[in-house]
Amino acid sequence: PRAIYLKDYQVPPFLIDTTELRFELGDDHTLVRSVLKMRRNPASPSRQAPLDLHGHESLELCRLAISGQVLSPQDYRREGESLLIRAVPDEFTLECLTRIRPQDNTALEGLYRSDGMYCTQCEAEGFRRITFYLDRPDVMSVFTTTVEADARRYPVLLSNGNPVASGSLEDEGRHWVTWQDPFPKPAYLFALVAGDLAHIERPFKTASGRDVTLRIYAESRDLDKLDHAMESLVKAMRWDEKVYGREYDLDIYMIVAVDFFNMGAMENKGLNIFNTSCVLASPETTTDAAFQRVEGVVAHEYFHNWSGNRVTCRDWFQLSLKEGFTVFRDAEFSADMNSRAVKRVEDVTLLRTAQFAEDAGPMAHPVRPASFIEISNFYTLTVYEKGAEVVRMIHTLLGPELFRKGSDLYFERHDGQAVTTDDFVRAMEEVSGRDLSQFRLWYDQAGTPRLHVSDDYDAAAQRYSLHVEQSCPATPDQAEKKPFHIPLAIGLLGPGGRDLPLAGGATTEVLELTETKQTFVFEGVAERPVPSLLRGFSAPVKLQYPCSRDERVFLMSHDSDGFNRWDAGQALAVDILRELMDQYRAGRPMQLDCALIDAFAAVLDDEALDPAMVAKVLTLPSEAYLSELSDEIDVEAIHEARQFAKKALAQALSGRFERRYLALAPAGVYAPDAVQVARRSLRNLCLSYLMALEQPAQLARARAQYDDADNMTDRQGALSLIAHSAFGAEADAVLEDFYRRFERETLVINQWLAIQASDPKPGALARVDALMKHEAFDIRNPNKVRSLISVFCNQNAVNFHAADGAGYDFLADRIIEMNRLNPQVASRLLTPLTRWRKYDAPRQALMQSALQRILDSGELSKDVYEVVSKSL
């Protein structure tokens, strides 16, 4: 497999003005007829180039004609993924008849079957598994699609755009529908669905008065779980009109839920296809977190209609142009719908645990990668989450008004075009008059920048100075880094914890770092302040400032920035957990610093705080985050220290946890609204501390919550605490009960798998092995693979990293198996093995040999090959 480079980009030699497709769906095979109106691209320098079409090896070419002339095999050549036609005129019609077998497609790219229906996934390069085409995002075409299938088994036939004609072939029991999408689009946004589907519908009037029909399709048994997605869609549409001035553009907007899906959802024009896990929601079967995920993903895919579809990417190196921007948009939407501070805490937690780890590992790459072997490997936390942080920093530097002007200019100027991240930044520069050339390094330099901050105070001159030094560790292919342009939002806390007025009387100031070392001076500061640094996490960096535990406690209780209040608590907890880890390693008894107990007590007693934030503050840093912070990960020490701290906190504060647990008892009918979600999150957190006491009375309390719950959040919260507890018989009983209750609810059973896979008790691997043979498991279904295998390997460190290497062997075997079935899922499974450099020498050797065994296992997909070869 060979790498492709951004620097080699060339405009397409040919364009496709219109694309007409006809699908004849059959049990044995599907026939795809395409008629493409093509011409040479006037912008291309190569006037003689042969026509080079993309086509996956699995395509069976039945007939090929140019402007009515059937080609014979001498006229073309197939080579790997390309179909070369030597002599073509400047303008012509290409007709193609292709045979494919969706029922055998386990990769879930292109056209495939999910349970009893047909669906597609074309991003990034799946369309070439459907027919021969110029499968690149800068070739945009107007599509007309006819779908023909058995009328009884596939009554619903969908594609992009608006339905324009339909009919039936009476004697054959078949019918057809023709869809037309007036907006030119790249092939990756193509979609088709055929099945026996039910739907809900709602009318929507856009701000300018156009009538749109909104429909959500699913299998009929899930019809009662679609309302939340519909409400989320309507909210997202209103929000985009108000905040970005963007309206929907077709007459119909459709979402279809499918159970077999490689990721969360896909923004196909007018016909989004969603993983059931990101659409279906009901109080009995869905947790609050999952309700919020549905809201966020529905919004994300809807927002793509402008940031992605109307304005798309020139090439796949620009992926963050649509993904980073759209994640920023959906995060702001969720912040407006729910709690802004809580949303920020969640996003930063993900970034700091998983994206920072990616940035420090062998697959580290810039937000705009410079090369790739398989683009599917670059749908990463860096492109999505760090990409969103880069857009957020532009928002911070420009302020909301100029940012909106910039986005207006970007959408107007590039509507209908395939563009680059540079075009996005240029629009922001033009409206603001700012020079963002140094800022652009965020797109090109990988790695997480570090800030070392120190300060001094001159009492006589009443002058306070902050000294900031930035650096960035080397990453693969990038040894040296230039300094970044970093917005550093800060505040200064005076005596009593009040914000001191800064420039212009504001209490938060955005310092702009552009050099390796800089000093910022504040005059007229009457007493030495405590700095509140990186407010709101204003840049995706690691900041170090020598802060005492007392100062952290002070910030925890006084900082006016909600994010930094939480962060001060996290930093305090990290500091104290590290001390416990040292004690554990030295074989000394562990002893928890009272500072953490006192700080938690104060937060628990403060009834004025949002319970959701209280829950966040009282959540100890995860094992994954502690691992990311470690130079060498000590799996046992991290686990033991954290368990010890949890139990010690529970013992010291049991009365308070119990009081708040009781006071937060559910009142009224379940709703996944911000107020109730906040209460349940704190209540379940209190229960988790109480369960850490390992007392039968607490077990009984958890079991009662499980039995009495009228919603999945409370039921599942209790279930996982009991399942992970030392009460073995009770754990088995409650898991058994849960399975019987929800046997028919696939998504709930996936949670049941995940809870068992994440059980830190010894023996988890044997349990996972057994579950792979359970009727609830299916290796072809990515949701099941994620729930059981990924959860075990990523959320059960003590078992996965068992010293004998059994976890690594298990994962290597699964990857070798999945590589043949579904390369994208196989490649994602690799992540934990790629981090081998962070473990002790014996584990390093075991992980490397697992990777080597995968490499030697025979023919590898590009996906798996790229990750394995880059990490060894």
Binding site for Zn ion (CB under 5 A): 323, 326
Return the bridge partners of 32, or none: 23, 98
Are 496 and 454 in contact by the 8 Å Cβ rule? The answer is no
Minimum distance of ligand B3K from residue 139's CB (angstroms): 18
Residue holding tokens 């920020």? 344
Q: What angle do CA 864, 867, 868 make, to 5 degrees?
A: 80
Cis peptide before 124 (omega within 30 of 0): yes
Which of Zn ion, ligand B3K, none does 470 bind, CB closer than 5 to 8 A by kind?
Answer: none
Does 257 bind ligand B3K (CB under 6 A)? Our answer is: no
Minimum distance of ligand B3K from residue 188's CB (angstroms): 8
Helix (H) or strand (E) holding 872: none
**Helices 400-414 and 387-398, packing angle to 10 deg:** 120
Active-site residue, from 267, 301, 389, 628: 301
Two structure tokens written together for 524: 């007229």
Among positions 263, 281, 755, 867, the unique one binding ligand B3K when judged by CB under 6 A:
263
* Residue number of the CB atom closest to ligand B3K: 123
Which of ligand B3K, Zn ion, none does 393 bind, CB closer than 5 to 8 A by kind?
Answer: none
Instruction: For ligand B3K, give the closer residue by CB, 316 or 742.
Output: 316
Which of Zn ion, ligand B3K, none does 123 bind, CB closer than 5 to 8 A by kind?
Answer: ligand B3K
Q: If you compute the radius of gyration of the chain from its CA atoms, what whole number of angstroms results?
A: 28
How many residues belong to the site for ligand B3K (CB under 6 A)? 12
Q: Using CA atoms, how far apart are residues 243 and 416, in angstroms rounded to an integer?
A: 21
- Candidates 205-213, 265-273, 443-451, 497-505: pick the segment binding ligand B3K (CB under 6 A): 265-273
Are 309 and 339 in contact by the 8 Å Cβ rule? The answer is no
Minimum distance of ligand B3K from residue 301's CB (angstroms): 5
Minimum distance of Zn ion from residue 89's CB (angstroms): 39
Site for ligand B3K in 101-130 (CB under 6 A): 123-124
Does 278 bind ligand B3K (CB under 6 A)? Our answer is: no
Pairing state between β 252-258 and 271-275: parallel
Does 525 bind ligand B3K (CB under 6 A)? Our answer is: no
Does 267 bind ligand B3K (CB under 6 A)? Our answer is: yes
Distances (CA, A) of 539 to 340, 427, 483, 794: 17, 21, 14, 26
Per-residue binding letters, 288-307, with ligand B3K (x by CB under 6 A): ------------xx--x---
Site for ligand B3K in 317-346 (CB under 6 A): 323
Does 863 bind ligand B3K (CB under 6 A)? Our answer is: no
Minimum distance of ligand B3K from residue 724's CB (angstroms): 32
Q: Using CA atoms, how far apart are residues 305 and 702, in angstroms rounded to an integer?
A: 45
Render 97-138 in DSSP notation, one character per residue.
Answer: EEEE-GGG--S--EEEEETTEEEEE-TTTTGGGTS-B--STT
Q: Using CA atoms, how far apart are residues 647 and 630, in angstroms rounded to an integer?
A: 23
Does 259 bind ligand B3K (CB under 6 A)? Our answer is: no
Distances (CA, A) of 208 to 204, 214, 556: 11, 17, 47
Instruction: For ligand B3K, give the closer residue by CB, 123 or 259.
Output: 123
Minimum distance of ligand B3K from residue 4's CB (angstroms): 16
Instruction: For ligand B3K, give the closer residue by CB, 127 or 706.
Output: 127
Which of Zn ion, ligand B3K, none does 263 bind, CB closer than 5 to 8 A by kind?
Answer: ligand B3K
Instruction: For ligand B3K, give the closer residue by CB, 55 or 324.
Output: 324
Instruction: For Zn ion, give the closer residue by CB, 266 or 635.
Output: 266
Which of Zn ion, ligand B3K, none does 379 bind, CB closer than 5 to 8 A by kind?
Answer: ligand B3K
Does 391 bind ligand B3K (CB under 6 A)? Our answer is: no
Among positions 237, 266, 311, 603, the unique one binding ligand B3K when judged by CB under 6 A:
266
Instruction: For ligand B3K, give the closer residue by CB, 228 or 300.
Output: 300
Render 605-656 in DSSP notation, one character per residue.
Answer: H-TTS-HHHHHHHTSPPPHHHHHHH-SS--HHHHHHHHHHHHHHHHHHHHHH
Minimum distance of ligand B3K from residue 798's CB (angstroms): 32
Helix (H) or strand (E) holding 19: strand 14-25
Distances (CA, A) of 371 to 3, 315, 377: 6, 12, 11
Q: What angle do CA 106, 108, 756 make, to 5 degrees?
A: 80
Two structure tokens written together for 150: 């058995």
Q: How far apart are the first and last CA of the chain?
A: 16
Instruction: For Zn ion, give the closer residue by CB, 323 or 593.
Output: 323
Instruction: For ligand B3K, give the closer residue by CB, 265 or 678.
Output: 265
Instruction: For ligand B3K, give the closer residue by CB, 195 or 296.
Output: 296
Q: What angle do CA 111, 116, 117 make, to 5 degrees?
A: 40
**Which DSSP symbol is given to 205?**
E
Minimum distance of ligand B3K from residue 329's CB (angstroms): 11
Cβ neighbors of 849 (< 8 A, separation 6 or more) are none
Two structure tokens written together for 130: 């459907």
Among positions 376, 448, 796, 799, the unique one binding ligand B3K when judged by CB under 6 A:
376
- Annotated active-site residue 241? The verdict is no
Q: Using CA atoms, how far apart are residues 721 and 684, in angstroms rounded to an integer?
A: 10
Instruction: For Zn ion, give the closer residue by CB, 144 or 275.
Output: 275
Cβ neighbors of 773 (< 8 A, separation 6 or more) are none
Minimum distance of Zn ion from residue 819's CB (angstroms): 26
Minimum distance of ligand B3K from residue 249's CB (angstroms): 18
Which of ligand B3K, Zn ion, none does 392 bind, CB closer than 5 to 8 A by kind?
Answer: none
**Helices 400-414 and 227-244, packing angle to 10 deg:** 100
Does 222 bind ligand B3K (CB under 6 A)? Our answer is: no
State the catalytic residues.
301
Binding site for ligand B3K (CB under 6 A): 123-124, 263, 265-267, 300-301, 304, 323, 376, 379
